[in-house]
Amino acid sequence: MNLFPMADVIPLPAPVWLFKTLHILLLGLHFVAIQLLIGGLVISTYWVIRGGRQADGGMREAGRQVLKTLPVVTTYLINLGVPPLLFAQVLFGHALYSASVMVGAWWIGVIFWLLSLYYLLYVATGRGESGRGWWKVTASALAMVMVVAFTFSTVMTLMLRPEAWADMYRQSAGGIYLPQGDPTTVPRWLYMLCGGLTLGGLGVVALGSMKRQTLDMRTLMFRDGAVMIVVGALLQTLFANLAWTSQPTLVHDALASGTAYSTLRAVWLVLALAILGFGAWIATGGRGLVERWGRKAPTLGWIASLLGICLTLVYAAFRDGVRDKTMLIKGFDVTTLPVYINWSVLIAFLCMVVATLVAVGWLTTLVVTNQPQVEAEDE
């Protein structure tokens, strides 16, 4: 029985598998940016509180360095978030649209929360550059990110529950109430927030590995970043398990029927353990590890970055499978959407995607490699 409303679907201009591949790739990168922002806000708030009023203190300086990256991270967050949202609209439009209408007031509010968040990030950066405290500003920004993340988690789980839409609409046509009764919403939300500790810690290690860092600064970033990694990886594993066990039995059976999603779960676990081990190794290595690695410290930064990106991409792929199987059980099969390939548009689009990824990669490489040649072991 199909619980989703019927819709007149315009044929897709490209195969479903291509839309889904691009959706998973860009959504995974979007998740990376989200978690880096969360982790950056957490660690910069912690450092300014611990650093006190010492304008030249190491923690305050480390916090200022993190703060300066957050507006750029937010730019990537927004720009990497739009394409997967559009792909989801193309593939699951009537479900996503219906769910967003059910919580319309919250959905529209995301725009204002993001605008306020962007403003606060620049305020915090300015306060850091002028030697003033910023913890109240970053704490407020973190609260806004949490609200936005919960709104998205709510919409993305509500779109899988067409049986709840009618009652919600009768309760409030203005979309002012959030849905109740979905056991997966909160674990998915908490998984993403705790991912901020994991990815944020990996990001701090990557920042500390840059050549411009002094020995003391690198030691501080490695130590606190590693603690974040360990705590985040443990909490993510907990909430990933809660999100999985709270899925309906039919979804479990559907995902277990093939090897693809079992393999993804196994790969995710291996990556999570690798990240946990990496964080524990850095945390227990202390200043001696920093001194031993010296000029090779950037290698640790690249390892941290690669582990974080791979873990998030695997999660995005498994999350997509949960959505597909849940919707299939309720009568919607995304693979049956009509397709009429417009080759000229498709080729132009793919060329722009490749050019954009190359440009972003090149710019990122320039930022990472063109650093002042100040080696930690020389300090």
Note the pLDDT of residue 8.
Answer: 63
- 185-208 vs 297-329: helix axis angle to the nearest 10? 160
As beta bridge partners, residue 12 has 339
As beta bridge partners, residue 339 has 12
Number of neighbours of residue 113 by Cβ within 10 angstroms = 18
Q: Which residues contact 246 (CB under 8 A, 6 or more apart)?
A: 183, 184, 187
List the alpha helices (DSSP H) in the chain: 16-51, 58-102, 104-129, 135-158, 165-171, 185-208, 215-245, 249-256, 260-293, 297-329, 343-369
pLDDT in tens, 158-190: 999 888 888 888 887 778 888 888 899 999 999
- Which parts of the chain register pLDDT below 70? 1-3, 5-9, 52-57, 367-379
Report how far residue 63's alpha carbon sits from residue 60's, in angstroms, rounded to the nearest whole number: 5
Which domains, from first to last, does the chain contain? Answer: 16-334 (1.20.1630)
This prediction has a pTM of 0.90
Note the pLDDT of residue 67.
Answer: 93
Residue 12 in 3-state DSSP?
Answer: strand
Residue 371 in 3-state DSSP?
Answer: coil
Note the pLDDT of residue 32.
Answer: 95
Q: Which residues contact 161 (CB under 8 A, 6 or more apart)?
A: 179, 182
Note the pLDDT of residue 7.
Answer: 64
- 58-102 vs 185-208: helix axis angle to the nearest 10? 150
